[in-house]
Chain A
Amino acid sequence: MAKLTEEMKDVLKIVGKGGAVVHLTTCSADGVPNIVAERFVTHYKDEYILIGEMFAQKTKVNLNENEVGCISIAHPVKGHTWVFRGPCTIISHAAPANYKWHGIKAGEVLAEWGEWATKEPPDEVPPDIAPPKLAQRGVIALKVEEVYSYNPEEAGKRIL
């Protein structure tokens, strides 16, 4: 288990609030990776990262068969060359409120982050890339077990 630093928490929020767009990587059980950019991101408590689940397709299939993910800082980077890796899942809006996953409760997560587009609307996103409508289906949760650097000169070096 890794505990996020305050600097990491400052970066793990939506870009409109000074955070960063991230890439989420998942993988099928037979080894085909999938990587997509995500805007709706936040840290949660000291060791989790949450992403709004709105249009995930392959990500969902992958997490249903292989519960692991990586989150890498994509834009703006500003020297934050981090990859967060650990168990990853989707907490669906259909999940019972008392469903527990790696120490977090579905009801608590969804009460705070289940209506993300209302809480943090994508006002900074240009119209040619913003979706016309947002329909959140749940929250993607990653429990941070390790953080490593993607700086090319120290790639893979463990930070946490």
Chain B
Amino acid sequence: MGIELTPRMKNWIEALGVHVATATAKGYPTVMVADRCRVEKNIIRIPITARQKDQIAGNLAENKNVAVAPGQLGAVRAPYQFKGKGKIEENELVVDVEQIYCTKPGAEAGLRLDVMCYEKMKDFEESRWKDLIPPGAK
């Protein structure tokens, strides 16, 4: 079942992009990076080039598991990890998010956020961070 991303999560990864990990069925990983994406509730749509499609198509054909982390300054200020299933639709990698983790260093590292209800997940992050939109983003 898909998990809806909060506005803060959406704002940071739409503005600053994502690092995307895929892997073979036996666990050999590959990382791809996109400098932007689009979030629709539980879906992350990541535009990919022909080279990127070639890079990940083989992995996704045998293993749909995908992990996504915020890129650029988001790697520092937006400590989330999104896990789910990925598929290629034309020139996009489409990720259906099933799990969301807090990756803030410290006692909350690895805390699973999606097990909270949506409002509690928002409260959790709004009580910790005031930058709901990354600097310079519209």
Closest chain B CB from A82 CB (angstroms): 10
Number of B interface residues, CB 8 Å? 48
B105 x A29 contact (CB < 8 A)? no
Per-residue 0/1 for A92-114: is the Cβ within 8 Å of any B Cβ (1 yes, 0 no)? Answer: 00000000000000000000000
Residue in B52, B67, B74, B110 whose beta carbon sits within 8 Å of that of A35 in the complex: B67
Which residues from B are CB-within-8-Å of A31? 23-27, 63, 65
Closest chain B CB from A131 CB (angstroms): 3
Q: Closest B-chain residue to A62, C-beta based?
A: B27
B61 proximal to A (CB < 8 A): no
- Complex contact A34–B21 (CB within 8 A): yes
Q: Any chain B CB within 8 A of the CB of A121?
A: no
Q: Which of chain A's residues have a CB closer than 8 A to the CB of B130?
A: 128
Q: Contacts of A2 on B, CB cut-off 8 Å?
A: none
Q: Are A131 and B105 in contact (CB under 8 A)?
A: yes
Contact yes or no, A35 B31, CB < 8 A: yes
The proximity string for B residues 68-99 relative to A, scoring 1 for CB distances below 8 Å and 0 otherwise, is 11011111110101010000000000000000
A68 in contact with B75 (CB, 8 Å)? no
- Contact flag A150-B32 (CB < 8 Å), given A55-B105, A66-B27: yes
- Docked Cα-Cα span, A81 to B88, in Å, equals 23
Are A150's CB and B33's CB within 8 A? Answer: yes
Given contacts A37-B79, A39-B105, contact A70 B31 (CB under 8 A): yes
- Which residues, 38 to 79 on A, are CB-close (under 8 Å) to B? 39, 54-55, 57-58, 62, 66, 68-70, 72, 74-77
Q: Which of B23, B32, B33, B75 has the most CB of A within 10 A?
A: B75
Residues 113-160 of A contacting B (Cβ, < 8 Å): 125-126, 128-134, 150, 152-157
A89 within 8 A of B: no
For the complex of A and B, the 10 pairs showing the least CB-CB separation, nearest first, are: A131-B106, A74-B75, A33-B21, A55-B109, A27-B27, A37-B75, A150-B33, A156-B55, A33-B67, A155-B51
Please list the residues of chain A having a beta carbon within 8 angstroms of any beta carbon in chain B. Answer: 15, 21, 23, 25-37, 39, 54-55, 57-58, 62, 66, 68-70, 72, 74-77, 81, 83, 85, 125-126, 128-134, 150, 152-157
9 A-B pairs (CB sep. < 8 Å) = A25-B21, A32-B65, A32-B83, A33-B23, A37-B75, A39-B105, A57-B109, A74-B71, A126-B77
